[in-house]
Amino acid sequence: MLDIPHRVRVHVDALLAAQIDMGVCDAQARNAPVGKSAAMSAPRLPKVAGIDSTVPGPAHTAGPLPDDVVAPSPPGALIQDRLAGWVSDLTTLHELIDRLVRTATLDDALAELLRAGSALVGARRGMAVLEPADGLGPATTVGLGLAHADLGSIETVPRSATSYGRILDGLPDPGAHPDLLAEAGLDPRHREVAARLGYAASYALPLDGQGSAATGESGTAGRLGAVVWLYDEPAEPDERRRHLIGHYVTYAAAHLARLVELQRARAQIATVTEELLPSRLPRVPGVQLAARHRTHPRGGGDWYDALPLPEGALGLAVGSVSGSGPSALAAMGRLRASLRAYAVMEGEDPVAVLSDLELLLRLTEPARTATALFAYAEPGLRKLVLAGAGHTPPLIVGERRTEYVETSLSAPLGMLSCWEAPSVEFAPEPGETVLLYTDGLLRRTGDPMDRAFARLHAAAASVPKADREDPGAVADHVLRTMLPEELDRPVEGEDVVLLAARFD
């Protein structure tokens, strides 16, 4: 909050009482219109029998004010003006901080910081450099009113010659450079870049994660980076603007610290997830494979697998483990590894593979459920035998047909007393793609399941003819059609897995 100086902390009630205690005549004199004569302002009695009843004004009545004299301000007007200014500043600061905390990504938060800061300090351009002191990243540079070439030119200046560079190096710096071109001892390279880009002054502040402790929030401790605003003319913010921008940057640093921790956690989860999934898909004659996986930011349990089997066969599997977070990731890794072992031993019988997986899950993790689908494919014969446990049916995408494979219904793994669903055998035509997927693709649409299945069927049927020869293009088209607004963002609610196999 803004600190009110002690010298202006007065009792407003005392001021009002002082005004009430003033004499009535004195109050009338102060409120008398300027420029009117005393005769016009004095009270008059009615005329009687032609006698002028004008009486002279009382001796204590003030006379007219000269035209060149301004009436003094009422007592307390200066205090009220200052209080109004502080209330206005607090309102502005609250609105800007509220807009900042609504940002959910680092880039958006840095852009909002630059926009709000430019309004507070009165600058048109700026640059924010995120470079955490612990070296764990992420590191990025965001500009306001600066093109990529401009940012590159600024980065050619030695760090020790710029105010924000000294902050990044942990050196003390006043932050304000009101006239760069006239500043003595300025690095010639800095002066040259400033003249070329057309800025004549700068004001920089550190982004310190320690500020989160002052605001009662947790976050990355230590220096996060620096922010600098550039003026077109020699200038610097006054004391009031410095006070406002200082408070704003303190809260901004705490918010950025939380976003840095969140991005680091997401990056770690993505790394672990990628390590638990196949690093590359096998190359088996007669079939082309492609996979798309978009994981939950906190780590989901959806997975896929493709492994070569003896005699030129191929095992295809997709599945989903209940829950999210590190425990779901660990369970997913164990389930996938177990299925690979069972597939190598008895892959020709998908029912036996899933039966073994059901028994393992029920014995080792009785509180967890999972869905799975395993297909034993013989590409040379274009034949697939598959079985599913509580999983969504595959989808065949071809030039002449787009249809779901009719599979037997079964409960998920971990909920079966005995195996109930037999396997299903079908033969795709040459050039057709079999699409295996998890239910996250359907749930992310927000539609009821029957409508989501219809949307998926329509998306697969609308794949352009030129893209049908590439299973990766088929998967990308389905993703773009089903989730157009989430293609380039992390999935917030469900994992999405697509495994496409095109048969020659």
Listing DSSP states for 43-58 in one string gives --PPPBTTB----PPP
Most confident region among 49-58, 270-279, 292-301 by mean pLDDT: 270-279
Q: Out of 92-96, 162-166, 209-213, 463-467, pick the least confident.
A: 209-213
Task: Note the pLDDT of residue 497.
Answer: 92
Q: What is the CATH number of the domain that holds 216?
A: 3.30.450.40
Q: Last residue of some domain: 269, 302, 330?
A: 269
pLDDT band of 419, cuts 50, 70, 90: low
Angle at 393 between CA 392 and CA 398, to 5 degrees: 135
**Rounded alpha-carbon distances, angstroms, from residue 397 to 375, 456, 481, 497:** 17, 11, 15, 17
Contact 145, 231 (CB under 8 A): no
User: Is the previous residue joined to 174 through a cis bond, with omega within 30 degrees of 0?
Assistant: no
**Is 16 within a domain?**
no
Q: In what order do the strands lie in the sheet with 433-437?
A: 287-294, 496-503, 433-437, 395-397, 402-404
User: Helices (H) and strands (E) in the chain — how many of each?
Assistant: 15, 15
Residue range 288-297: mean pLDDT, rounded = 86
Residue range 307-319: mean pLDDT, rounded = 94
pLDDT > 90 fraction of the chain, expressed in percent and rounded:
49
User: Which distant-in-sequence residues (6+ apart) come within 8 Å of 489 by Cβ?
Assistant: none
Length of the chain: 504
Task: Note the pLDDT of residue 115.
Answer: 95
Task: Note the pLDDT of residue 67.
Answer: 55
Place of tokens 């880009």: 197
Alpha helices in 42-159 (DSSP H): 77-101, 106-121, 148-155
- Residue 223, φ and ψ in degrees, nearest 5: -70, 135
Element housing 372 (H / E): strand 370-378
- Give the Cα separation of 391 and 256 in Å (integer): 41
Same-domain pairing of 304 and 362: yes
Mean pLDDT of the residues in the chain: 81
Burial class (CB in 10 A: 0-12, 13-18, 19+), 262: middle
Scored b (16 or more CB within 10 A) or e, 24-52 reads: eeeeebeebeeeeeeeebeeeeeeeeeee
- Give the Cα separation of 149 and 129 in Å (integer): 16
Using a cut of 0.75, tell me whether the model's pTM lies above it.
no
Same-domain pairing of 301 and 161: no
Per-residue tokens: 129: 């450099």
- Give the Cα separation of 260 and 263 in Å (integer): 5
Same-domain pairing of 226 and 175: yes
Burial class (CB in 10 A: 0-12, 13-18, 19+), 153: middle
**Total domains in the fold of the chain:** 2
Same-domain pairing of 290 and 326: yes
The answer on pLDDT for 52 being more than 60 is no
**Is 439 within a domain?**
yes
**Rounded alpha-carbon distances, angstroms, from residue 459 to 227, 462, 464:** 46, 5, 10
**What is the 8-class DSSP label of residue 51?**
B
Task: Note the pLDDT of residue 297.
Answer: 66
- Give the Cα separation of 343 and 373 in Å (integer): 12
Residue range 96-123: mean pLDDT, rounded = 94
Same-domain pairing of 260 and 313: no
| pLDDT 10s digits, 126-180 | 999 999 988 888 999 999 999 999 999 999 999 888 888 888 888 776 688 899 8
Same-domain pairing of 382 and 312: yes
User: Which distant-in-sequence residues (6+ apart) come within 8 Å of 105 by Cβ?
Assistant: 259
* Torsion angle (degrees, nearest 10) of CA 82, 88, 93, 98: 150
Task: Note the pLDDT of residue 325.
Answer: 79
Residue range 76-104: mean pLDDT, rounded = 85
**Is 123 within a domain?**
yes
Task: Note the pLDDT of residue 80.
Answer: 77
Task: Note the pLDDT of residue 81.
Answer: 76
The answer on pLDDT for 68 being more than 60 is no
**Is 54 within a domain?**
no
Same-domain pairing of 116 and 259: yes
**What is the 8-class DSSP label of residue 48?**
B
Q: What is the CATH number of the domain that holds 303?
A: 3.60.40.10
Which residue range is the domain that position 338 belongs to? 277-503
Q: In what order do the strands lie in the sheet with 201-208?
A: 140-144, 125-130, 223-231, 201-208, 176-177
Task: Note the pLDDT of residue 143.
Answer: 94
- Give the Cα separation of 340 and 332 in Å (integer): 12
**Is 51 within a domain?**
no
- Give the Cα separation of 496 and 481 in Å (integer): 14
**Rounded alpha-carbon distances, angstroms, from residue 111 to 35, 108, 245:** 56, 5, 15
Per-residue tokens: 185: 């001892």
Name the residue type at position 22: M
Per-residue tokens: 294: 């978009």
Q: Last residue of some domain: 236, 269, 302?
A: 269
Same-domain pairing of 119 and 146: yes
- Three-state secondary structure of 113-139: HHHHHHHHHCCCEEEEEECCCCCCCCC
Task: Note the pLDDT of residue 347.
Answer: 87
Same-domain pairing of 298 and 237: no
Same-domain pairing of 384 and 249: no
The answer on pLDDT for 2 being more than 70 is no
Residue, of 74 and 467, whose pLDDT is higher? 467
Contact 113, 128 (CB under 8 A): yes
Residue range 438-456: mean pLDDT, rounded = 91
Task: Note the pLDDT of residue 492.
Answer: 55
Q: How far apart are the first and last CA of the chain?
A: 70
The answer on pLDDT for 488 being more than 80 is no
Residue, of 44 and 418, whose pLDDT is higher? 418
Element housing 291 (H / E): strand 287-294
The answer on pLDDT for 420 being more than 80 is no
Q: Last residue of some domain: 252, 269, 286?
A: 269
- Residue 271, φ and ψ in degrees, nearest 5: -65, -45
**Is 246 within a domain?**
yes
Per-residue tokens: 275: 């390590």
Same-domain pairing of 223 and 254: yes
Same-domain pairing of 283 and 260: no
pLDDT > 70 fraction of the chain, expressed in percent and rounded:
79
**Is 159 within a domain?**
yes
**Is 33 within a domain?**
no
Residue 83: CB atoms within 10 Å: 14
Task: Note the pLDDT of residue 219.
Answer: 46
The answer on pLDDT for 33 being more than 50 is no
